[in-house]
């Protein structure tokens, strides 16, 4: 990365926050995929797998929350641009000690959707915590991160 | 914890999601404190500490985003009750390899504010990621969790 | 009903809209139940019942949308008071020619939750239409109405 | 309609909800017109027609609510795309036993505005119910449906 | 005013913004009245008075926008508490060179509604500007200020 | 200005409000700059300048509020189109008797961003009032107005 990028672009030379002007950037198809995990107690894993009780809507609610969360990104993250999101998927899987979450977001717009994918994961994760908290007060949201992005001038990026 | 609590309260016996009725619970003062971290590259730590450049608004923007995020919790987490939040603080500190975030939320209402505190941390963390992403695409939000809660019928709780 | 009630309370004597002052009303437990239906084609009924394909999240998505919709009522209906909703359930059943929706909302507040229950039904119904529209462009939302309310000075009411 | 369309597009093959990817669709001018009715008591019809009292803002409030409701569609209907709405009209007429509502929405975007038109009608209708409920608790929202759409790959459609 | 009040309460001793804790304050009836003006060209005054054309919804739209704006205050002003608003009126009058706006807001809550009244005036004023801007690009929003407040520990206040 | 423009475009010939159809307008780069002032007491000026106390986040909070406010414009101003905002800056300066606010908004879209720039100024101004109100109940928001706009069919405009 060139030294020209070695500063916080959202902060101007005087230290003031701004929404960076992207009007000169091209409208292209861009995608981002982010992941995260909610660490939960063994009893929660059993309940989410439906052992002994109806599995029910729990993961479905978190999936919807994540999709809707992606759309709320510019309301939540102050310097994010409002974006024309063209597709979102959120996948939740119950592992042995955690719920694993993956979100993929697509756009045709002037800036990337990494923040939208991360927000989808974060909101889905918070929703999982909300639903399990009567059984497990200690659930932890962890490892929320971008895995890859495609499109845009800076090109594709994959987590090393 | 009694076995009576060993199910997902937000899901009824048929598996359907619901917003649990709290109308019979008492209005009491309740608090929750949550923490989390954003793992960042060394160059980001330097920039956030203002080494060689104006430190600027960056942490202040994340703090405001976290406070506003706490207020948006019922819009984001589907089964959360709208709550009368009576106070929010969000603290951000730059450690050697991370930004450490702590949020404390207070209410006088019928249900706890753990989700509001977690949402404040998560939104502040997402905002940090957004502001550093031009320098560090690999930032990771991690260890977002409730540390303690007070008030309400279930009483105080501290992470063991 | 006394003649004192025979005017539009949300419109003052000069014809101007206002949010009626409820500060002198008592905080009591109030409930409202509303119902509605989405008329759909036979093929949609089969799909929602899971005949030949995974039934999937469809009704669960509409249920979550209805619960969240109840919370958005004061954002949507201009003269509605923001309310402390204490519980929401939304039930969807697939009948032979329709999806039947019932929403029940509870509060401890100074005004009733009829509008919140109706909004929950309407948003759940719109969500059903959205999900079936690739198969059935002609779906119709119909019979959205309050069935009963309890609590408050005007007392209980049941649809005759 | 080809069999390829005979499934719920918003639900994937495993039954999970998703926001369908529309990034490959063309940006074209699209319109949708939806209608609906609020059945009201005779006394309400008189009041809305201004017989003996100022007619006032009542229908105007519902019209504004409908226009604003169209803009909130992606916040309410979980799997709807955020859209660049380019025009909205909402018309309300007082018939002998009902308020008749028509909404027309236009866009230049990658997907249709049927849901925006339906949401405009539904929110306007809920607002009418809210304004008349002190006089008529039994008002019913009914026959909310798309009448026609134009534009897009699937072409024009008129209710048969 | 005592020196104890001579600091910015929303900023702590280290300079960080916070939502001040009001949980120890009493729930009382509080009101606030704010006013403001939109300076407009003579042609706009004629149009708003309906000279030669239908006066139409213009002031009604601004009134609704102001009422809804009051409810959005905690979404807009970062350190404002979410409040249980119990009543809002917004009045607009066409003077010879301006539209005069007055908003009155009531609550039963732990903190005052001055910001809600100001936000109602500001949003109504912005809406007036939006509606007249095709005729008068130079409209100015001015003199937006609290006129009086009642209730709460600090008691009543009237602009000197 | 031609007589064709001498009416309120947001109101149709029958007096009904509408969101004007802009689908035939070109997507071009458009900007708007608006300004405003918050008149404050001398003690507030000292506090905002950090005389004797930490200056802290106060202006930074107002700046963030203004940027986020620009994005909320179509939620607040009923007949505004949702817009693809491509950049926002908000500048606050402490003068001898006021806080001076300037907002600049850019878009690539079919309609101008004057309302977005005005909303950014208004929300930043309301936030300043909120932060100083414990010290100065009498703060006044004034002179909120468009200074210039560029782009679009009607071309550039500068306040005379």
Q: Which domains does chain F carry?
A: 28-150 (3.30.70.640)
**CB-CB under 8 Å, F84 with A82:** yes
What is the C-alpha to C-alpha distance for residues A20 and A12, in angstroms, rounded to an integer? 9
In the stretch 84-113 of chain A, residues with CB closer than 8 A to chain B read: none
**Confidence band of D36 (pLDDT split at 50, 70, 90):** very high
Q: Is E63 near chain C, with CB under 8 Å?
A: yes
Residues of B that are catalytic: 130
Query: What pLDDT does F144 receive?
Result: 98
**CB-CB under 8 Å, E65 with D60:** no
Q: What is the pLDDT of residues D84-129, one digit of tens each?
A: 999 999 999 999 999 999 999 999 999 999 999 999 999 999 999 9
Q: If you average pLDDT over residues F121-143, what whole number do you get?
A: 97
**CB-CB under 8 Å, E6 with F43:** yes
Q: If you average pLDDT over residues E151-156, what whole number do you get?
A: 90
In chain D, helix, strand, coil percent, each to 5?
Answer: 30, 30, 40
Which residue(s) pair with B30 in the sheet?
B107
Identify all chain A residues contacting F91, using CB atoms and an 8 Å cutoff.
16
Residue among E17, E75, E82 whose CB faces B64 most closely = E17
Identify all chain F residues contacting A73, using CB atoms and an 8 Å cutoff.
none
What is the C-alpha to C-alpha distance for residues F89 and F87, in angstroms, rounded to an integer? 7
Q: Which chains touch C (3 or more CB pairs under 8 A)?
A: A, B, D, E
Which residue(s) pair with C106 in the sheet?
C31, C87
- Interface test mutation site (partner D, options F10, F18, F23, max chain D beta carbons within 10 A): F23
Question: To which residue do tokens 């414990």 refer?
Answer: F134
For residues E58 and E79, which has the higher predicted lDDT (pLDDT)? E79
Query: What pLDDT does D55 receive?
Result: 66
Q: Is D60 near chain A, with CB under 8 Å?
A: no
Residue among A12, A19, A84 whose CB faces F88 most closely = A19
In the stretch 13-32 of chain B, residues with CB closer than 8 A to chain A read: 13-17
Q: Which residues of D13-139 form beta strands (DSSP E)? A: 28-39, 85-94, 98-109
- Does A116 appear as a known binding residue? yes
User: Which residues of D fall in the annotated binding site?
Assistant: 79-81, 115-116
Q: If you average pLDDT over residues B45-64, what whole number do you get?
A: 84
User: Which residues of D fall in the annotated binding site for substrate?
Assistant: 79-81, 115-116
Q: Which chain A residue has the Cα nearest residue B6?
A: A135
* Catalytic-labelled residue, pool E12, E97, E130, E156: E130
What is the C-alpha to C-alpha distance for residues C113 and C149, in angstroms, rounded to an integer? 8
Is F31 within 8 Å of F86 (Cβ atoms)? no
**CB-CB under 8 Å, B16 with C60:** yes
Query: What pLDDT does F154 receive?
Result: 84
Q: Find, among F73, C68, F114, F80, the residue nearest to A82 by Cα.
A: F73
Identify all chain D residues contacting E61, using CB atoms and an 8 Å cutoff.
60, 64
DSSP state of B97: S
Q: If you average pLDDT over residues F27-34, what whole number do you get?
A: 96
Structure tokens at C31: 């409930």
Q: Which residues of D119-159 form beta strands (DSSP E)? A: 140-150, 157-158
Count the Cβ atoms, other than its own, within 10 Å of residue F115: 27
Count the Cβ atoms, other than its own, within 10 Å of residue B110: 21
Q: Is F126 near chain B, with CB under 8 Å?
A: no
Identify all chain A residues contacting D22, using CB atoms and an 8 Å cutoff.
86-87
Lowest mean pLDDT of B142-156, D34-48, E49-63, name the range: E49-63
**Confidence band of A19 (pLDDT split at 50, 70, 90):** very high
Count the Cβ atoms, other than its own, within 10 Å of residue E111: 17
How far F6 CA sits from the closest chain A CA (Å)?
Answer: 32
Burial of D96 (0-12, 13-18, 19+ CB in 10 A): exposed
What is the C-alpha to C-alpha distance for residues A47 and A43, in angstroms, rounded to an integer? 6
CA torsion, ordered D39, D42, D48, D50, to nearest 10 deg: 170
**CB-CB under 8 Å, A110 with F86:** yes
Identify all chain B residues contacting C71, using CB atoms and an 8 Å cutoff.
74-75, 82
Q: Is F130 near chain D, with CB under 8 Å?
A: no
**CB-CB under 8 Å, B64 with F61:** yes
Lowest mean pLDDT of C57-61, D39-43, E41-45, name the range: C57-61
Q: If you average pLDDT over residues F44-65, what whole number do you get?
A: 86
Cβ-proximal residues to A112 (8 Å cutoff; 6+ apart), any chain: A30, A32, A149, A151, A152
Residue among C77, C133, C137 whose CB faces D65 most closely = C77
Annotation says F130 is catalytic: yes
* Catalytic-labelled residue, pool C26, C75, C97, C130: C130
What is the C-alpha to C-alpha distance for residues B42 and B136, in angstroms, rounded to an integer? 9
* Stretch (H or E) spanning D125: helix D114-132
What is the C-alpha to C-alpha distance for residues E101 and E70, in angstroms, rounded to an integer? 14
Q: Is A64 near chain C, with CB under 8 Å?
A: yes
In a 3-state reduction of DSSP, which class is residue B75?
Answer: helix
Query: What pLDDT does C1 receive?
Result: 37
What average pLDDT does chain E have?
A: 92
Q: Which chains touch E (3 or more CB pairs under 8 A)?
A: B, C, D, F
A58-71 and C58-76 helices, crossing angle to 10°: 50
Q: If you average pLDDT over residues E99-126, what whole number do you get?
A: 97
How far E22 CA sits from the closest chain B CA (Å)?
Answer: 5
Is A27 within 8 Å of A84 (Cβ atoms)? no
pTM attached to this predicted model: 0.96
Is E110 within 8 Å of E139 (Cβ atoms)? no
Q: Is D51 near chain E, with CB under 8 Å?
A: no
- Interface test mutation site (partner D, options A67, A73, A81, A84, max chain D beta carbons within 10 A): A84
What is the C-alpha to C-alpha distance for residues F120 and F140, in angstroms, rounded to an integer? 17
Q: If you average pLDDT over residues E92-105, what whole number do you get?
A: 97
In a 3-state reduction of DSSP, which class is residue D130?
Answer: helix
In a 3-state reduction of DSSP, which class is residue A156?
Answer: coil
Identify all chain D residues contacting C119, using CB atoms and an 8 Å cutoff.
126
- Does C79 appear as a known binding residue? yes
In a 3-state reduction of DSSP, which class is residue F144?
Answer: strand
CA torsion, ordered A120, A121, A126, A128, to nearest 10 deg: 110
Is A119 within 8 Å of B126 (Cβ atoms)? yes
Q: What is the pLDDT of residues E17-76, one digit of tens each?
A: 999 999 999 999 999 999 999 999 999 999 999 876 666 788 999 999 999 999 999 999
Instruction: Name the percent of chain D lying above pLDDT 70.
Output: 93
**CB-CB under 8 Å, D69 with C72:** no
Q: What is the largest CA-CA distance in chain A?
A: 60
Half-sphere exposure of C62 (CA within 13 A, CB side): 30
Q: Which residues of E11-59 form beta strands (DSSP E)? A: 28-39
Q: What is the pLDDT of residues B29-52, one digit of tens each?
A: 999 999 999 999 999 999 999 876
Q: Which chain A residue has the Cα nearest residue B20?
A: A131
Q: If you average pLDDT over residues F95-114, what whole number do you get?
A: 96
Looking only at the bridges linking them, the beta strands covering F140-150 and F157-158 are antiparallel
- Torsion sign over Cα E93, F74, D110, A111: positive
Q: Which residues of D71-154 form beta strands (DSSP E)? A: 85-94, 98-109, 140-150
pLDDT at C53 over 70: no
Q: Is E123 near chain D, with CB under 8 Å?
A: no
What is the C-alpha to C-alpha distance for residues B157 and C63, in angstroms, rounded to an integer? 32
Q: Which chains touch F (3 or more CB pairs under 8 A)?
A: A, B, D, E
Identify all chain D residues contacting A60, using CB atoms and an 8 Å cutoff.
16-17
In a 3-state reduction of DSSP, which class is residue F39?
Answer: strand
Question: To which residue do tokens 């406070």 refer?
Answer: B67
What is the C-alpha to C-alpha distance for residues B13 and B7, in angstroms, rounded to an integer? 10
**CB-CB under 8 Å, D63 with F17:** yes
Cβ-proximal residues to E2 (8 Å cutoff; 6+ apart), any chain: none
How far A63 CA sits from the closest chain D CA (Å)?
Answer: 7
Q: What is the pLDDT of residues A46-104, one digit of tens each?
A: 999 987 666 678 899 999 999 999 999 999 999 999 999 999 999 999 999 999 999 99
Identify all chain A residues contacting C65, using CB atoms and an 8 Å cutoff.
64
Q: Is B80 near chain A, with CB under 8 Å?
A: yes
Identify all chain C residues contacting B23, using CB atoms and an 8 Å cutoff.
29, 86-87, 106-108
């Amino acid at each position: 990365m060139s030294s020209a990028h070695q500063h916080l672009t959202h902060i101007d030379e005087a230290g003031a926050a701004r929404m960076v002007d992207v009007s000169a950037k091209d409208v292209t198809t861009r995608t981002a995929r982010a992941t995260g995990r909610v660490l939960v107690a063994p009893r929660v894993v059993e309940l989410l797998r439906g052992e002994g009780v109806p599995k029910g809507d729990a993961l479905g609610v978190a999936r919807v929350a994540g999709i809707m969360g992606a759309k709320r990104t510019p309301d939540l993250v102050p310097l994010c641009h409002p974006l024309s999101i063209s597709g979102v998927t959120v996948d939740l899987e119950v592992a042995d000690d955690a719920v694993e979450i993956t979100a993929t977001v697509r756009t045709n717009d002037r800036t990337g959707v990494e923040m939208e994918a991360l927000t989808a994961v974060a909101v889905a994760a918070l929703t999982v915590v909300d639903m399990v908290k009567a059984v497990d007060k200690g659930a932890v949201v962890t490892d929320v991160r971008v895995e890859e992005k495609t499109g845009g001038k800076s090109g594709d990026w994959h987590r090393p």
